[in-house]
Amino acid sequence: MQYRTLGRTGVQVSSLALGAMNFGRLGHTTQDEATALVDAALEGGINLIDTADKYSDGESEEMVGKAIAGRRDDIVLATKAALPMGDERNHRGGSRRWLVTALDDSLRRLGVDHIDLYQIHRWDPSTSDEETLSALTDLQRAGKIRYFGSSTFPAYRIVQAQWAAREHHLSRYVTEQPSYSILQRGIESHVLPVAQEYGMGVLIWSPLASGWLSGAVREGRDIATNRSAFMPQRFDLTVPANRARLEAVEQLARVADEAGLTMIQLALGFVTAHPAVTSALIGPRTLDHLHSQLAAADTALPADVLDAVDAIVSPGVDLAPGEKFDTPPALLDASLRRR
């Protein structure tokens, strides 16, 4: 396992991190299975665990808390808030009112007295940067969080938040957590350069592209990824973007074979090779999944393999642009464009 400094914090984190989104109802993972995954991840050298209050409506945090009991100090613990928690309109977003409550709820579920990295799960367009950053700064000064970061923010919002922190003399986001894979490379043209400019740590999610790069999606075979059960549209091969992805996957599989790599090693080795990336979040549901992903921990792709990947999916290109999660709200909601 490689270890890297998380931005400018001085904190050392593993180049692969354990994402706990599948813990609980979403991934049909029991507590015993979640604990076994945490045990194996720590034994494999992972020291960063990432979850969120939204994952299975808090169940993931509860499972993580039970799994890490007695060894909290050995783990860099990250969670997130801002996505809706129930139907109450103020149980979401980046307001001080909600973040104070959400953090206390997360601390209770996790069974800890502080979070190492508290992240805003999505940019909240209805709340000012000053409001969110001042709340997070106060929570940091109270000792409830050590650092805070953003997740899936557009590049211009990352810049705006850095400016707001400086303008109002507040602590700043020290990390960004975007989606990034061989098949979705758009952040190379904007988010990653901005993160480097501000010295932010980058924890990327979905490096296996929801299973497209795990070997579970191949031409002429039944699709064998859990994501296809509740996101069937993302695997519908009548959709042009999905056909483009499948064609790329078949070419990438040949590159991996010629290099003596698994698809997982190619995919994880690719994202962790980018100089802006600190750690790649893996989200295994089973121990077999975890072990196949840990096998990529020390994968270093040679230049000819990286060049071969670039020839298949060009730098800065998203093969499924409709699945981006940092699109400005006005492009998704006509009323916001035309009000």
Catalytic residues: 55
CB neighbours of 98 closer than 8 A, spacing ≥ 6? 81, 82, 90, 91, 92
Tokens describing residue 26? 């979403």
In whole angstroms, what is the distance from residue 245 CA to residue 233 CA? 13
Count of other CB atoms within 10 angstroms of residue 25: 12
- Collect contacts of 248-253 with beta carbons under 8 A, ≥24 apart: 248/182, 248/183, 248/312, 248/313, 248/319, 249/183, 249/212, 249/213, 249/217, 249/218, 250/218, 250/219, 251/312, 252/182, 252/213, 252/309, 252/312, 253/215, 253/218
CA torsion, ordered 135, 136, 139, 145, to nearest 10 deg: 170
Q: What is the CA radius of gyration of the chain?
A: 19
CA torsion, ordered 228, 230, 233, 234, to nearest 10 deg: -50
Count of other CB atoms within 10 angstroms of residue 338: 7
DSSP class per residue in 129-174: HHHHHHHHHHHHHTTSEEEEEEES--HHHHHHHHHHHHHTT-----
In whole angstroms, what is the distance from residue 17 CA to residue 297 CA? 10
Q: Is 81 helix (H, G, I), strand (E, B) or coil?
A: strand
Token pair 């003399």 in the structure block, residue: 169
In whole angstroms, what is the distance from residue 49 CA to residue 74 CA? 11
